[in-house]
Amino acid sequence: MATYYSTIADKMLVDKPRTVVNPAEHTGKLVSYGATFTLTTDHDDGDVVIMCPIPSNMAIRELLLSSDGGATAGVLDIAVYTLSTADGTNTFTNANADLFASAQAIASAINRTDVLGESGEVLINERYQPLWQVVGATSDPGGVYYLGFEIETADVDADTVVAIEAIGVI
């Protein structure tokens, strides 16, 4: 069974100010949500890290991945999760297993590389759709989805810092 980890309580960047080059291209407020997480040798294949909440109505324009490349092995699937709190227990469910990135290597240094369309599931025209549509929901559930990743490697062989930042319009 997968172990779930979370950075939601700390190290979260929310609504970081950003300069818009051409405001006429955007139809709302430009926002940024993200977090960092240090993977260690204790993390295994199938473990999930929940990075940060993303508003369901956000149109993600860029999904930036960074890694310090500390590990010589490590592969991630970057996805969207939902949270249910049935019976007082928090349960994250994968809304789309590899929506943004599939088998994304983190063994070498990566500096803010856009992986939004890496898996091939997010088409160029979907960068202008709200997240709930990109995920495949029939209507906006309101609230938030959670951005996270699943480790898809037997294990991570050394500590490595991973950062994910979603930039878009709400």
Which structure tokens are listed for 39?
A: 């993977």
C-alpha distances in Å from residue 105, one per residue of 36, 111, 143: 16, 13, 31
How far is the C-alpha of 97 from the C-alpha of 81, rounded, in Å?
Answer: 9
- 75-84 and 144-151 strand pairing: antiparallel
**Cross-strand partners of 12:** 35
**SS3 (DSSP) at 144:** strand
This prediction has a pTM of 0.82
The pLDDT tens digits along the chain (170 residues) read: 566 676 553 344 444 444 444 444 546 788 999 999 988 888 888 888 999 999 999 999 899 999 998 887 788 899 999 988 878 788 888 888 778 888 888 888 999 999 988 887 888 777 788 999 989 889 998 899 999 999 887 667 778 899 999 999 98
CA distance 65 to 78: 10
Q: Output helix, strand, coil percentages for the chain, rounded to the nearest 5.
A: 10, 50, 40
Q: How far apart are the first and last CA of the chain?
A: 35
Q: Which domains does the chain have, with CATH numbers?
A: 4-19+27-169 (2.60.120)
Q: How far apart are CA 29 and CA 170, in angstroms?
A: 5
